């Protein structure tokens, strides 16, 4: 026996993309249901980057999710790019008039869940075997299994917010999809430690030994990363080895003054750039990681998902409330225009700051020259700053 439901917008995926889209649609009186594969606990256990562009902060405020962000978020007016002991300060505030907010993505996701609970939105966890049908019809159907019961939702539109490994993107025929990918030959080993941050602002460190990043969650919770070969496993890395390698790559004065401690989380993430076009197929719209992946070097993952939501939420509200199709017909091209600019920035930051095993000595000189140019050119620093704080929607 199949149970059937109805909604206006069915959202596949209860991560930041799906939750924020649902919250904004609900606030405009549009009905949604979210289908999430994992438990809420599992979704909230994911450790993710936490640098929010000013546009993301505005969107979360519009969604009514700002109390903790305003109380606990740490405003940052700049960051450092370093080449051994050369430290280049990128002053966002001076160069762009904007700042970013350091506030963990996990906290954003938790606050979005709380807001959706207050809204009374139906979020169905533990769904399996999701199938998206009838995308070319006036109403589409999503079949899924939950608690061993096959269920079906009828809807007007489907938002594919189910991440890189979801079902939405592959529902678009392979003959229609154009995919672009760059897999980097290294990963980031990340450590969370209950220690004060090494620096009051983030340090993106380039060194002859490889890349490192010094970040934070709050004044007593630090987040660090070092570039490692893709073949490394977390078990290969004791805390002692991690701190030794991190200090080798950070500027001497930072390495000598920083406080280390036991890791409370340690993991290795691969780095890739990926994008799939188009973002729409009939009534289906791809959002966030379902459509694109960026290396974390530019801190764009969450922020790019939010800009997709910015374009799609208003398009869907228009389609539902006024039957205007202009927004949904233009969504893919509008979102992709900004996606590719963020893709470029993330790729540039990654290639500028990481050592590639097969590189020749010329590549190292190019990296050093890029950092030196940043040190001496306000124009170069402004170009980097305007990308880092977030290009206009």
Q: Which is nearer to ligand PHB, 102 or 158 (CB)?
A: 102
Residue span binding ligand APR (CB under 6 A) among the ranges 57-65, 95-103, 156-164, 201-209: 156-164
Site string for ligand APR, 163-182 (x = CB under 6 A): x-xxx---------------
For ligand APR, the binding residue among 78, 190, 301, 390 (CB under 6 A) is 301
**Rule CB under 6 A: which of 115-134 touch ligand APR?**
127, 130
- The interface mask with ligand APR, positions 99-118, x = CB under 6 A, is ------x-------------
> Should residue 307 be labelled a site residue for ligand APR when binding is judged by CB under 6 A?
no
Question: What is the contact mask toward ligand PHB in residues 139 to 178, using x (rule: CB under 6 A)?
Answer: ----------------------------------------
What is the x/- site pattern for ligand PHB, positions 177-206, by CB under 6 A? -------------------------x----
For residue 50, the partner it binds in ligand PHB, ligand APR, none, with Cβ less than 5 to 8 A by kind, is: ligand PHB
| Interacting residue with ligand PHB among 215, 263, 332, 370 (CB under 6 A) | 215
Catalytic annotation, residues: 76, 204, 296, 300, 388
* Contact track, ligand APR, 41-80, x by CB under 6 A: --x----x--------------------------------
Choose, by CB under 6 A, the member of 21, 23, 37, 104 that binds ligand APR: 37
Cα gap 150→140, rounded to integer Å: 17
Chain positions 299 to 338 lying near ligand PHB, rule: CB under 6 A, are 299
For 371, phi and psi rounded to 5 degrees? -65, -40
* Cα dihedral 100→103→107→108 (10° resolution): 0
Pair of tokens at residue 53: 């562009």
Cα dist from 251 to 50, 122, 196, 199, 206, whole Å: 23, 50, 17, 11, 9
Output the 3-class SS for the chain. CCEEEECCEEEECCCHHHHHHHHHHHHCCCCEEEEECCCHHHHCCCCCCCEECHHHHHHHHHCCCCHHHHHHCEEECEEEEEECCEEEEEEHHHHHCCCEEECCHHHHHHHHHHHHHHHCCEEEECCEEEEEECCCCCCEEEEEEECCEEEEEEECEEEECCCCCCCCHHHCCCCCCEEEEEEEEEEEEEEEECCCCCCCCCEEEECCCCCEEEEEEECCEEEEEEEEECCCCHHHCCHHHHHHHHHHHCCHHHHHHCCCCCEEEEEEEEEEEEEEECCEECCEEECHHHCEECCHHHCCHHHHHHHHHHHHHHHHHHHHHCCCCHHHHHHHHHHHHHHHHHHHHHHHHHHHHCCCCCCCHHHHHHHHHHHHHHHHCHHHHHHHHHHHHCCCC
Q: Closest separation between CB of residue 166 and ligand PHB, Å? A: 23
Part of the chain binding ligand APR (CB under 6 A), chosen from 1-9, 32-40, 234-242, 370-378: 32-40
**297 is in the binding site of which of ligand APR, ligand PHB, none (Cβ under 5 to 8 A by kind)?**
ligand PHB
Least CB distance to ligand APR at residue 168 (A): 8
Q: Is 223 in the site for ligand PHB (CB under 6 A)?
A: yes
Q: Which of residues 35-54 bind ligand PHB (CB under 6 A)?
A: 49-51
List Cβ neighbours of 165 (8 Å cut-off, separation of 6 or more): none
Which does residue 167 bind out of ligand PHB, ligand APR, none, counting CB within 5 to 8 angstroms by kind? ligand APR
Contacts with ligand PHB, residue ranges (CB under 6 A)? 49-51, 202, 213, 215, 223, 296-297, 299
Contacts with ligand APR, residue ranges (CB under 6 A)? 12-18, 35-38, 43, 48, 105, 127, 130, 161-163, 165-167, 288-289, 301-302, 305
């Amino acid at each position: 026996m199949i149970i059937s439901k109805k909604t206006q917008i069915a959202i596949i995926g209860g991560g930041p993309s799906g939750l924020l889209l649902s919250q904004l649609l609900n606030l405009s009186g549009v009905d949604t249901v979210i289908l999430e594969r994992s438990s809420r606990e599992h979704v909230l256990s994911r450790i993710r980057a936490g640098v929010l562009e000013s546009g993301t902060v505005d969107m979360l405020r519009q969604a009514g999710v700002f109390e903790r962000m305003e109380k606990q978020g740490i405003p940052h007016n700049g960051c450092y790019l370093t080449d051994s002991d050369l430290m280049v300060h990128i002053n966002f505030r001076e160069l762009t008039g904007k700042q970013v907010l350091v506030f963990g993505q996990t906290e954003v996701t938790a606050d979005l869940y709380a807001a959706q609970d207050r809204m009374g939105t139906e979020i169905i966890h533990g769904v399996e075997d999701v199938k998206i049908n009838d995308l070319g019809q006036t109403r589409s159907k999503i079949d899924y299994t939950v608690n061993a019961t096959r269920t079906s939702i009828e809807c007007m539109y489907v938002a594919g917010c189910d991440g890189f490994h979801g079902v939405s993107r592959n529902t678009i025929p392979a003959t229609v999809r154009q995919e672009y990918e760059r897999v980097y030959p290294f990963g980031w080993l990340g450590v969370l430690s209950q220690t004060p941050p090494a620096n009051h602002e983030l340090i993106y460190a380039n060194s002859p030994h490889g890349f490192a990043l010094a970040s934070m969650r709050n004044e007593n919770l630090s987040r660090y990363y070092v570039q490692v070969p893709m073949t490394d496993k977390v078990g290969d890395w004791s805390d002692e080895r991690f701190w030794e390698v991190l200090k080798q790559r950070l500027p001497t004065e930072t390495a000598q003054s920083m406080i280390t401690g036991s890791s409370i989380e340690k993991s290795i993430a691969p780095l890739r750039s990926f994008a799939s076009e188009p973002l729409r197929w009939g009534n289906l719209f791809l959002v966030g990681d379902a459509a694109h992946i960026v290396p974390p070097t530019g801190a764009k993952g969450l922020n790019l998902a939010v800009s997709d939501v910015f374009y799609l939420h208003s398009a869907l509200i228009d389609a539902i409330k006024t039957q205007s199709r202009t927004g949904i017909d233009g969504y893919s091209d509008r979102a992709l225009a900004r996606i590719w600019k963020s893709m470029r920035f993330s790729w540039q930051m990654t290639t500028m700051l990481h050592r590639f095993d097969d590189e020749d000595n010329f590549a190292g000189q190019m990296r050093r020259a890029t950092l030196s140019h940043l040190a001496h050119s306000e124009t170069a620093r402004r170009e980097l700053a305007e990308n880092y704080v977030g290009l206009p929607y």
